[in-house]
Structure 1
Amino acid sequence: MFRPGATPIVVLSQNTKRDSGRKVQKENIQAGKTIADVIRTCLGPQAMLKMLMDPMGGIVMTNDGNAILREITLQHPAGKSMIEIARTQDEEVGDGTTSVIVLAGEMLANAEPFLEQGLHPTTVIKAYKQALEDMISILNENLSIELDCNDKNKLAEVVQSCIGTKFLGRWSYLACEIALEAVQTIIMKQNGYQEIDIKRYVKVEKLPGAAIEDSCVLKGIMLNKDVTHPKMRRFIKNPRIVLLDCPLEYKKGESQTNIEILKETDFTRILEIEEEYIKKICYNIILVKPDVVFTEKGISDLAQHYLLKAGISAIRRVRKSDNNRIARACNATIVNRTEELQESHVGTGAGVFEIKKIGDDYFCYIAECINPKACTIILRGASKDILNESERNIQDALHVAKNLLSEPKLVPGGGAVEMAVSHILNEKAAGLAGVEQWPYKAVAQALEVIPRTLAQNCGANTVRTMTALRAKHATGGVTWGINGQTGHLVDMKQHGIWEPVVVKLQTYKTAIETAILLLRIDDIVSGSKKKQSEDNLQSTHVSNESIKE
């Protein structure tokens, strides 16, 4: 019985709170393991594909970890953060999206027994952080080898080992050539700094039809555009190109403008003013004697007429990103006002301007550029699905090539580097004092998930293979790993399977940091819970009022 008007106090026992924290941690770990299980079969050359259907009825078939997780809809917040790490991995290094999820799931699974035994999450986290620091130093100092960027065969070999697990594996030689050629085309060296911007300056154009073997790198730009007037020239050798970011149309007044017409000649005068304005802007363009004009805005019929009379081809409504690429490819400058046009703004670096018809569409080619710092990859294939998957694979290959040229260091692939790091961590764990050595050892065991999954995915006897691999690494065979095609043990040095050290470092950092982040969570508060508690408070308030009465 409580005093009328008093607010009821809810007392939570210490046990209740701890139980809720443990329960949430268990749920988070379970969510991480579930996500990892979904894409575990997508690791390695014998990876299975996933068929994903979106709400609109579209179908995606892929074994790219990031592409799969992007299409999955999840409710659990911990699961969402697992999906986020695949995206992070893809944006940072462009490869290893499947590995990072599988590894993060295993790190979480290996932490579960310690939490059940009553070990505080902070102790586990401390051990995980220590293990991560040691892993980074082991990779950089003990296991990585330098790569000569001028050795094209070695570069191609590394890119090929990345492509080998993908759909484009059958055409890996072609894909490697395309990726390396594209990346080497766009390298910009300024003041000792090397810039490789794949996102902005490498465009992938997918054209259905023909065979995958017909794919190539165009040393220039290709746009899905046609000239604005049918009589304009469609083939020009060594064109002079002008790039504009302004409309070649009469600038209409704002909505507040009022025009008072008193005489019938006034209306004619208004039209004359429009004509004079368009004539003036076209005259400014004609003064620099271009052959082709690209603008991001519209071109009026009158402007087309003046440009046609001057023998100039015009293309309108070009995307800003495409305009930037054209500027890089033919050494032109984008101009915002036609009055500012100068000879130095005209691009003369292109060899050919041509309009071609492929299928039902017209494409504008700016090709045979002298020193293009932008390029277009033309992908051909039988269907849209094949082209989409090829594009995902090419993007991975481009990122690997970029990583190699920006930081030329390699580590052995095929699970060899994971086993080597695991072996060294196990040895170091023996020297640790206290209870922290057990979670530290758990990190070493979690690393074994990569070679184990490779063996599972190609149908090998997992226990026997892993035992043999551990024995190899115990006797100093640090480059021994699993052949993803057959499941047999091979020396990666002789087999020629290498991976960029940047990808591995990013994989380990992202996986362990995500595991640490999810282990730190001891409660999940959602908006719906809050609403429920408000409703409870309201009902309590009502009952208090009734007691008062």
Structure 2
Amino acid sequence: MASKVKPAPQISIKPNATAGKLSQEVSDTAFNQLAESIRKKIGINEPVKGEELISHLEMACGEVNRLLRSSFGPKGFDKLIINPVNEIVVTSDGKTILEEIDILHPAVTTLKNLAKSMDKACGDGTKTAVILAAALIANGVKLIRNGVHPNTVVRGYRLALYKAYELLEYSCRPAKSYEEIYAVVLGAALGKGMQPGLAKELTHVVLRVVERLNCLSPEGYLDLNENIKILQKSGGPEVDYLEGLIMDESPARPDMTRNFNKPSLLILNYDLKFKSEYLSPKHDKIARDLEAAYSFRDKQKDILRGFADKIIGSGADVVFCEGNVDPRIEEVLARKGILLFKKLKLKDLEKLSKATGTQIMVISDELAPERLGRADSLEVIKKCHENFVFIRVQNQPIMSILIWEPVKYNLRKVEEAVDDALNSAAFLYRNKMIVTGGGGAEFDLSQMLRIYALTLEGKEQLSVLEYANALEEIPKALARNAGMNALDAMAEIAASYSRGEEARIDLSGKVRADAPFVYDLASIKKLAIVSATETACSMLRVDEIRLKK
């Protein structure tokens, strides 16, 4: 008998073509919007070459030059930048300004990379290098427009660089007195627009700190990031420093002892408390009656009491804990006169360990007295409604600088000024060669390069002359920002130069050849000139900019 059961009809499920098409269209639209946004930031929509390329270089370098020129020197103006997340940045630092502006043009990106490399190499001279590079590119573009081949411009620039480097080697001299070293570091601090009074105080502190570390560091090796801790706070203005470590931390309890002489220090990692009030954080164990719950709580107390007894038995006077600490342990330690700090940064604990010889341990380790660290003194001080712990450790290569700045938005500028001052001081102890600051060295080089250009034949002579013109952008920018007439200032410097005097532009907004002297580090000046020239030559050799599709 044949089966009467009919086979089930086959149902074919077709993909939703409309939904797939819509999803693809949305994806393409988002990609196109992103691509268009990037093209706007780059400023280029199609391949650029010839006269259009020259115009792009001239426009981009001119904008960067104008942007940094007004912020150059101790009298330079600040830039107030609001980034995409509405964070306000007030700065006159060249690298920071270039990083914050949202422009991806190849010429601007090249100048950004120049600023980063200068900052990484020596921590200073970024604006000098970028302003000089932008001026060299702009002057090279003028020559190219007048029929000079780009390779001829590059050859002339390299000849000028070799001669300028040779002249710098001849004109630099070693810093012989504290006043000359002080003038170099003060110029670096003032270059970020720091208040003169605070900058002078900071300069004295930086020189003492670097000189002391230079004596304590093995074989004269100095790592500013490892050997120096810097704190900036709103208040003051004032500068404190300590041979040891300053931490902006408060004791775990207000009733703890705050002063110790030659204390023993214990550093612990991880928490000293139970993270859950349950029998098991996984909730896989339960207390079936009240007696079991009380038993569990008593066991917790016994364990915590054991932790406290172990710390007390170690003989430590001060405990630094990276994690949180149970209040019951805090109470026991406070009764025994032991000072406790909790929830500390691991980086600070590593510095403290290095300075005091303390091993970073966990509570399960053997807390033997020989594994503890020692300090000469420890004091907790409250200042401007904030607690600070001063840990004095002599004859160890670690120092701390605490800077108080009245204006909150100036804290970043203070950080930049301290960084430049420390880098300049560290460079000075490696190489004490200095040159005239305040635009004096650049003006002298420009005058001697003009004489050198007369000895050349061919169109390279024009390139050397434009190189000299670019060097004069440095003293001109200093004069403008000091409120002087740039032409009058250049004429005064030229008159002093003709009399054989080392003239420069000082803080008073005058051209002076007598005290107070202004000096720059010769090593940073050389690096800035070499880096700027190489950057300009690489850009002038570009004949086309293409976008990758």
Question: Which shifted more, 426-435 or 237-246?
Answer: 426-435
Residue equivalent to 1:205: 231
Residue equivalent to 1:540: none
8 Å CA contact retained: 2:304, 2:328: yes
Paired residues for 1:103-182 under 5 Å: 103-139=132-168, 141-148=169-176, 151-165=177-191, 166-182=193-209
What SS does structure 2 have at the residue aligned with 1:378? strand
Residue equivalent to 2:543: 522
Residue equivalent to 2:478: 454
CA distance in 1 between counterparts of 2:161 and 2:311 reads 60
8 Å CA contact retained: 2:47, 2:545: no
CA distance in 1 between counterparts of 2:250 and 2:47 reads 68
What TM-score results when the alignment is normalised by the length of structure 2? Answer: 0.79
CA distance in 2 between counterparts of 1:474 and 1:31 reads 36
CA distance in 2 between counterparts of 1:310 and 1:118 reads 86
8 Å CA contact retained: 1:330, 1:369: yes
CA distance in 1 between counterparts of 2:61 and 2:121 reads 21
What SS does structure 2 have at the residue aligned with 1:167? coil
| 1:446 Cα offset (Å) | 1.1
| 1:448 Cα offset (Å) | 1.3
What SS does structure 1 have at the residue aligned with 2:425? helix
1:235 correspondence with 2:259:
yes
What SS does structure 1 have at the residue aligned with 2:395? coil
8 Å CA contact retained: 2:57, 2:138: no
Deviation readout 1:203-255 (Å, 9 max, x if unpaired): 3333333x31x332233333232222454333333221122334334699xx9
Summarize the Cα distance change of 1:258–1:132 in structure 2 as closer, same or farther, 3 Å threshold: farther
Residue equivalent to 1:322: 348
Amino acid at match of 1:26: S
8 Å CA contact retained: 2:248, 2:389: no
Residue equivalent to 1:47: 76
Residue equivalent to 2:504: 481
CA distance in 2 between counterparts of 1:84 and 1:372 reads 37
Amino acid at match of 1:85: L
Summarize the Cα distance change of 1:196–1:134 in structure 2 as closer, same or farther, 3 Å threshold: farther
CA distance in 1 between counterparts of 2:203 and 2:507 reads 19
Amino acid at match of 1:69: L
What SS does structure 2 have at the residue aligned with 1:42? coil
1:400 correspondence with 2:424:
yes
Summarize the Cα distance change of 1:262–1:98 in structure 2 as closer, same or farther, 3 Å threshold: closer
Amino acid at match of 2:504: G
8 Å CA contact retained: 2:232, 2:414: no
1:92 correspondence with 2:92:
no
1:501 correspondence with 2:501:
no
Paired residues for 1:189-338 under 5 Å: 189=216, 192-197=219-224, 199-209=225-235, 211-212=236-237, 214-249=238-273, 282=308, 284-301=310-327, 303-304=329-330, 307-308=333-334, 310-335=336-361, 338=364
| 1:518 Cα offset (Å) | 2.4
CA distance in 2 between counterparts of 1:83 and 1:27 reads 16
Question: Which shifted more, 502-511 or 306-315?
Answer: 306-315
Deviation readout 1:455-493 (Å, 9 max, x if unpaired): 33334443344245345445644x2233453343x226x
Amino acid at match of 1:297: G
CA distance in 2 between counterparts of 1:117 and 1:96 reads 32
| 1:512 Cα offset (Å) | 1.7
Summarize the Cα distance change of 1:55–1:423 in structure 2 as closer, same or farther, 3 Å threshold: same
Summarize the Cα distance change of 1:96–1:251 in structure 2 as closer, same or farther, 3 Å threshold: same
What SS does structure 2 have at the residue aligned with 1:290? coil
Summarize the Cα distance change of 1:66–1:346 in structure 2 as closer, same or farther, 3 Å threshold: same
What SS does structure 1 have at the residue aligned with 2:316? coil
CA distance in 2 between counterparts of 1:208 and 1:399 reads 24
CA distance in 1 between counterparts of 2:457 and 2:370 reads 70
What SS does structure 2 have at the residue aligned with 1:35? helix
| 1:34 Cα offset (Å) | 0.7
Residue equivalent to 2:513: 491
| 1:433 Cα offset (Å) | 4.8
CA distance in 2 between counterparts of 1:157 and 1:110 reads 33
| 1:438 Cα offset (Å) | 2.8
Summarize the Cα distance change of 1:261–1:455 in structure 2 as closer, same or farther, 3 Å threshold: closer
8 Å CA contact retained: 2:217, 2:397: no
Deviation readout 1:86-143 (Å, 9 max, x if unpaired): 333333333333322221211111110232244443443343334334333332x311
CA distance in 1 between counterparts of 2:500 and 2:487 reads 20
Residue equivalent to 2:22: none
Indicate which of 131, 138, 149 corresponds to 1:102.
Answer: 131
8 Å CA contact retained: 2:48, 2:545: no
Deviation readout 1:318-353 (Å, 9 max, x if unpaired): 112222332344343434675254444422123123
Summarize the Cα distance change of 1:514–1:337 in structure 2 as closer, same or farther, 3 Å threshold: farther
Summarize the Cα distance change of 1:309–1:330 in structure 2 as closer, same or farther, 3 Å threshold: same
Residue equivalent to 1:358: 383
Residue equivalent to 1:5: none
8 Å CA contact retained: 2:129, 2:532: yes
What TM-score results when the alignment is normalised by the length of structure 1? Answer: 0.79
Amino acid at match of 1:176: T
8 Å CA contact retained: 1:239, 1:353: no
8 Å CA contact retained: 2:266, 2:372: yes
Summarize the Cα distance change of 1:235–1:442 in structure 2 as closer, same or farther, 3 Å threshold: same
Residue equivalent to 1:14: none
CA distance in 2 between counterparts of 1:511 and 1:246 reads 49
Amino acid at match of 1:491: A
What SS does structure 1 have at the residue aligned with 2:156? helix
1:29 correspondence with 2:58:
yes
Residue equivalent to 2:30: none
| 1:525 Cα offset (Å) | 3.3
Give the aligned CA root-mean-square deviation in angstroms. Answer: 3.5
8 Å CA contact retained: 1:244, 1:293: yes
CA distance in 1 between counterparts of 2:136 and 2:508 reads 26
| 1:370 Cα offset (Å) | 2.4
Paired residues for 1:55-66 under 5 Å: 55-66=84-95
Deviation readout 1:282-308 (Å, 9 max, x if unpaired): 555444311111122333345445544
Summarize the Cα distance change of 1:19–1:380 in structure 2 as closer, same or farther, 3 Å threshold: closer
| 1:146 Cα offset (Å) | 1.0
Amino acid at match of 2:358: A
Summarize the Cα distance change of 1:425–1:324 in structure 2 as closer, same or farther, 3 Å threshold: farther
What SS does structure 1 have at the residue aligned with 2:404? strand
Summarize the Cα distance change of 1:262–1:164 in structure 2 as closer, same or farther, 3 Å threshold: closer
Residue equivalent to 2:434: 410
What SS does structure 2 have at the residue aligned with 1:339? coil
Summarize the Cα distance change of 1:127–1:231 in structure 2 as closer, same or farther, 3 Å threshold: same
